Structure 1
Amino acid sequence: MTVKIYHNPQCSKSRQTLQILQEEGVAAEVIEYLKQPPSREELTQILQALGMRPRDLMRQGEAEYQQAGLDNPDLSDEQLIQAMLDHPRLIERPIVVKDGQVIIGRPPQRVLDIL
């Protein structure tokens, strides 16, 4: 079983999700996505697996979202993906990937759905 968690150690939900994985005995690859953002391909695969559009995976309350005018409905999916790559803080967290299945750990207990 291959498990990755796109993790922000400053986020309580992310820490709780990682703790659940550890309690379940899962040795997940921890990716601190603020330091090591996903590639365009990885982000696109995550969106496809979640069945989401880019804006749905964005933290719309972040200052970067407002400052960059990302609430503009005329922006394309590619422009929104690029914004997440340029400003990884905009990516909702935590994201857990297991063998092609993806969940957002909100609430953290959702991670149990793919284990």
Structure 2
Amino acid sequence: MIKIYHNKLCSKSCAALDLLMSKHVEFNIQEYITDVPSKDEMKNLLTILKMKPLQLIRHHETIFQENFKDLILTDNEWIDVMLQNPILIERPIVVKNGKAVIGRPIENIIKLLQEF
């Protein structure tokens, strides 16, 4: 099963959702802004994305610039920041068969769909 971590206010996330619908694949949507992942779920996503928490943060968001840009935090602390401020999580994230990609560029999703 495919899962997309989606933000309905993001054009790139909406494009990813449109792509999945056009491919007629089954998928689940998690609107992560209102349905925030658990800490364990976020750690798992980071593991399968092969990323550190700071790499998954949207550094240009105002909230990051105003509150976090000069901080030096541990990975666990950055995860907590993302979970408390989910707008900071890069999007969309698409997961399939234990693999995940950030859907920027959308070609990342196309490659993931072609696997297996």
Q: Is the 8 A contact 1:65 1:71 kept in 2?
A: no
Q: How many pairs does the alignment contain?
A: 113
Q: CA deviation at 1:89?
A: 0.3
Query: What does residue range 10-21 of structure 1 map to in structure 2 within 5 Å?
Result: 10-21=9-20
Residue equivalent to 2:73? 75
**Where does structure 2 lack aligned partners over 5 or more consecutive residues?**
none
Matching residue of 1:88:
86
Number of the residue aligned with 2:111: 113
What TM-score do the two structures reach when normalised by structure 2? 0.92
Counterpart residue number, 2:25: 26
Please, which moves more after superposition, 89-98 or 26-35? 26-35
Q: Distance in 2 between matches of 1:45 and 1:57?
A: 13
Amino acid at match of 2:93: I
CA distance in 1, matches of 2:7, 2:63: 17
Contact 1:37–1:88 (CA<8 Å) still a contact in 2? yes
- Alignment match, 1:37: 36
1:15, distance to aligned residue in structure 2 (A)? 0.7
After superposition, what is the alpha-carbon deviation per residue over 1:73-93, rounded to whole angstroms, capped at 9, x for unaligned? x31001100000000000000
Amino acid at match of 1:80: W
Residue in 2 aligned with 1:3? 2
Unaligned runs of 5+ in 1: none
Q: Does 1:104 align with 2:93?
A: no
2:57 aligned partner: 58
How far 1:70 moved relative to its partner?
Answer: 4.2
**4+ residue segments displaced more than 4 Å:** none
Partners of 2:70 and 2:102 lie apart in 1 by 22
TM-score, normalised by the number of residues in structure 1: 0.93
8 Å CA contact 1:6, 1:93 repeated in 2: yes
Q: CA RMSD, aligned part only?
A: 1.1
